[in-house]
A and B are shown apart, each in its own frame.
Chain A
């Protein structure tokens, strides 16, 4: 590659001020001594000046006042409730939040279920079945009743005794039994 080719490739960046001090000095030295490269510099400078003047003329014609007015009105406008709701639901369903929420809920539920192992009977008394469960019962030929009282969650095993050998008063008491 000749020195002219190298210089012509760098002229544009030199004019834009993108070269280092040493590179700028080398390009300036070559351009002042080389008529061809100097012509290239003049042409690039002319294109730059033309573009600048055209942009300046066109930009002056653009009316920006309505644009800024619209921006201001949008800033000042009160948002409708459904727009807020829409934004909130979008935020709620955003992937990172859902990804966090699912394992957190699982962990909380597991914690809740395992709590009973560490702290038996922590649940509200009324919410669990506190009735006594009768696995087996043998009254050796006597009559027996099994009752459950809902209000106090009490299980009652009631024996109806044989009347033999009991006095009359006891017989009366046993015969009648509880009314439940």
Chain B
């Protein structure tokens, strides 16, 4: 009986240590140094049935857009520090400015600005799963429509 009590005390101590570890682990979620941002620019259209082989990994994501053709125009990746900004050139005299805001619950918050020349087109703040992506589309280009895949991976 004495031995059992001793063992139970040990188990309870272990449980309390786990609680403490879980609490400290949750509080100390490491903020990564920077974010690797990747912008893939795609021209979607309905003039042909071409599907660029470079976009094979995105086929499922692009399918719901219901265009007949997809062609990769640009694939650009840059490392962006937290609270820093990077500008990506987009065809048609446009540019996309990305600023990582914070990293919380395995999600990266990105502030994104799309401009056309000097004119702002879109300002948005999006939280995406780390190593995940979202799609920004709609601007017309060369008889088709631009589709941007914006992904971020905390480093």
Contact = CB atoms under 8 A, between A and B. Distances in A.
B67 to A, nearest CB: 7
A161 B135 contact: no
Given A135-B126, A151-B60, A121 B106 contact: yes
Contact of A170 (B7, B114, B121, B141): B141
B109 A135 contact: yes
**Across chains A and B, which 6 residue pairs bring their CB atoms closest together, nearest first?**
A159-B138, A114-B22, A179-B66, A117-B25, A170-B140, A169-B143
Contact of B66 (A130, A174, A180): A180
Interface of A: 96, 99-100, 103-104, 106-107, 110-111, 113-114, 116-118, 120-121, 128, 130, 132-140, 142, 144, 147, 149, 151-152, 154-161, 166-167, 169-171, 173-174, 176-180
Interface of B: 4, 7-8, 11-12, 14-15, 18-19, 21-22, 25-26, 28-29, 44-46, 60-61, 64-67, 106-107, 109, 114, 119-145
A86 to B, nearest CB: 24
Contacts of A140: 119-123
A178 B4 contact: no
A158 B136 CA distance: 6
Given A96-B4, A103-B15, A157-B137, A134 B125 contact: yes
5 contacts: A100-B11, A114-B26, A121-B130, A137-B125, A169-B143
Contacts of A152: 60-61, 64
Nearest to B136: A157
A161 B142 CA distance: 14
A50 B1 CA distance: 47
A171 B28 CA distance: 51
Contacts of A99: 4, 8
B120 to A, nearest CB: 5
Contact of B25 (A96, A107, A114): A114
Contact of A139 (B65, B109, B122, B135): B122
